Structure 1
C-alpha cells in the first residue's frame, strides 16, 4: 500500500464538497499529530494548503516525459539511454544490480508482471574539458566543451502501468511534504527546548555570581566579578527575548498547525522539480540543438530542502522482465557465512 493509498483512505469529512480533499486533510492530521483535531476549525484551515499540495504533487507527476523502454537492445535508439549509460551492457548491469527492482519482481505485486514501470534517478555531473570543434571549414583546437555524465542510479516507484506509476510519484511528493512538515515541527520543538534549558542554566550561573560564588567559572577566569556578571545578565536578557519571540510565534498544537500549513504552502521550495532538456552529441558533449548529431534528452530535475541532499534527475522507465537478469544464489558464499 502506497502513502497516498493510506493518506487518501476511506472516511473523513467533506471540504467544500471534495471527498478526496477531505480525506487528505484527515490523513495529514493523523500523520503529523492527531491531537490537532482538538483545535477549532483545523480542517478548514488546512484545506487550502492541502489543496495546493495535492495539485503540486499531481503537476510533478505529470511533468515527467513518457516512459522509455529500458533494455540493452534499445540503447542505440534511445537518446536518454545513450546519455545515461556508456554502453548497452551498462543498462543490463544497472537492472541486475538494483536490489529494489529484484525484490519487487519477486514480490506478490510484481511476480505476475511481464513488464514493470519505474523511475530511474541519477546524479548529473558536468565537467569542462578541451576538445576540437568545427567552425565553418576551420577545425579549432583546445575549444572548451561541457561534458555531461550520470551516476549513482536508483530505481524506485514500481508499478504495473505508467498511469499507476505517475500516481505513485504524486504519492512520493506528498509523502515528502508531510515528512518535511514533521521535521519542521521537530526542529521547532528542539529549538524551544534549547532556549528553555539555556535560560535555566544562565539564571543559575547568575544567581551564583550575584552571591559572590563563581563556581567552576573561577577556574577559567581570574577576574569574574563585575564585568562577567554584566555580560551574563546581557546574555540572560538576550536569551529571554529569543525565548519570548519563540513562544509568541506560536507553540504547542497551534504552532505545529502553522508549521504544517507553511510547509504545504511552500511545496515548490520543499521539493523543487522542473523539466530539464539537454542537447547532447554522441560523446555526451553539450551542443546547440541544431548541431549535426545532436540528440535531445528530456528529464525531470528535482531537489529537496533536506540538508545534505543533492539535485537529481529522473526519467520514467518501462522494463520488460526478460531484460532483468535474476540474481543467482551463491551457495559457496552462503556456506562461508555458516
Structure 2
C-alpha cells in the first residue's frame, strides 16, 4: 500500500489536473484500512470519501511544496546562519545532536549503499521559552535582575531522510497524509470512548434514580430539615434523558457505519485544521534572549517556519541537508570497553 503513495506524491502526479482517479481510490482504501474497515459495507463509501481524500491529498502536496529549499546543517553553517546558531548552543552540541538522530541512524543502516554526500530531510524542534533574570545595558548603566525571556530549541528530530531533496519531500507528503489518517482514527476512538462514558454515566444515574425512589426522598425532603429536596429524582431523570438523546437510537457502544464514515470524511475534509505551516519571526540577541520590537538586534530577525495542528502540537521546522561528514559515528561500546580493560 505504501507503494501507491510513492506514485501519488511524485511531481507528475501533482499537476494542474491533480492526482488521477485511480490514485485517489487507492488513497481512499488506505484511509479506510487505517481507520474503520467496516465502512466498506456501505456501497457509497468511495463516493462519500472521494472529495475529502482529494482535498487532503491536494493540501499535503501544497504544504510540502511550499516549504523553503533545504538549508545546510553543519559546523560551517553554524558560523554563517543565525537560525542554526539559535537551534544549537555550539558546534559540539550540533554534532552531538546529529549523532543521536534516530531516523538518520536508521537511514544510514538501511541505505548505506546509496552514494549520496548529503542526507536531506526535515529538522523538527520544540521551541521553549522560559523567564530568567539577567543583566541589561541602559545607556552607560548596567541593570541587574532584569526579567527576560530566554528562547531555546530542544527535542531535535530529523524526519524523512533521503538521498535527494525530491525524495525527502515525497516522503514528507506520505507522512503528512498518514498524519491526517491518524487524526481521523483518533476522532473515531474519541467518539467511541464518549459513548462508553455516556453508557457508564447512564448506568450510574439509573442506580441513583432507583435509590432515590427506594428511599422515598420526595416525602422525606418535605418532612426533614436536612437540605434535601424533591428535585433529586427530576434532575436524575432529566440527565438520563439528555444522555439517551446524545447516545441516539444506536443502543451500542460501537459507532454506526454512517457515523464512522462521517467522522473520517470530516477530518480528511479539513486538512488545514489538522496540519499546516505558518511563518514565525523571532528577534533574539546572541544569548538567545528575546528582544522587543524596538530593541536593536545584531543577529537580526529569524525567519522561521512553524508546523502546527488543532491537536495543540507546534514544532519549528527547517528543511535541511546534512553533509555525511558532519554526522559522527556512534562509539563502539565493546571496542571502547576492551581498550579500557586492556
TM-score band (shorter)?
A: 0.7 to 0.9
144-153 or 222-231: which moved more?
A: 222-231
- Is residue 260 of structure 1 aligned with residue 270 of structure 2? no
Matched, 1:243 2:221: no
Q: Structure 1 residue 36 and structure 2 residue 39: aligned?
A: yes
Residues 280 and 286, structure 1, Cα contact 8 Å, conserved in 2:
yes
- In structure 2, relative to structure 1, the CA distance for the partners of 1:110 and 1:70 (3 Å cut) is farther
* 1:90 match: 93
Query: 1:254 Cα shift?
Result: 0.3
- Any unmatched runs of 5+ in structure 2? 10-17, 218-225
Mapping for residues 211-222 of structure 1, pairs under 5 Å: none
Q: Separation in 1 of the partners of 2:235 and 2:147?
A: 57
Distance 1:17 1:62 in 2: 19
Cα deviation 1:137-156 (Å, max 9, x = unaligned): x6676588655322221222
Alpha-carbon distance between aligned partners in 2 of 1:302 and 1:3, rounded to the nearest angstrom: 26
For residue 5 of structure 1, what is the aligned residue in structure 2? 5
Secondary structure, aligned partner of 2:80: coil
User: CA-to-partner distance for each residue in 1:77-111, whole Å, 9 max, x for gaps?
Assistant: 12221121122222111111223322221123676
Partner of 1:73: 76
Taking only aligned residues, the RMSD between alpha carbons, in angstroms, comes to: 3.8
Specify which of 57, 60, 70 is matched with residue 60 of structure 2: 57
Q: Please state if 1:300 is matched with 2:333.
A: no
Shift of 1:310: 4.0
Report the TM-score, using the length of structure 1 for normalisation: 0.78
Structure 1 residues not aligned, in runs of 5+? 10-14, 215-221
Q: Secondary structure at the match of 2:328?
A: coil
Residue of structure 1 in register with 2:161 after alignment: 158
User: Match of 1:105?
Assistant: 108
- Retained in 2: the 8 A contact 1:132–1:139? no
Tell me how far apart the structure 1 counterparts of residues 29 and 2 of structure 2 sit (CA, whole Å): 17
Among candidates 325, 329, 334, match of residue 331 of structure 1: 334
SS for the counterpart of 2:245 is: helix
The ranges of structure 1 where at least 4 consecutive aligned residues each deviate by more than 6 angstroms after the TM superposition are 222-225, 332-335
From 172, 176, 179, give the equivalent of 1:173. 176
SS at match of 1:65: coil
Shift of 1:6: 7.7
Task: Pick closer, same or farther for the CA change 1:66–1:245 going to 2, 3 Å.
Answer: farther
Q: Residue 201 of structure 2 corresponds to which residue in structure 1?
A: 198
| Count of residues in correspondence between the two structures | 316
Residues 56 and 268 in structure 1, CA contact (< 8 A), matched pair in contact too: yes
Please tell me whether residue 278 in structure 1 is matched to residue 282 in structure 2.
yes
Please report the TM-score for the alignment, with normalisation by the length of structure 2.
0.77
The aligned runs of 1:217-228 (5 Å cut-off) are 228=232
* Contact kept? 2:121, 2:159, Cα under 8 Å: yes
Tell me the distance in 2 between the aligned counterparts of 1:40 and 1:61: 34
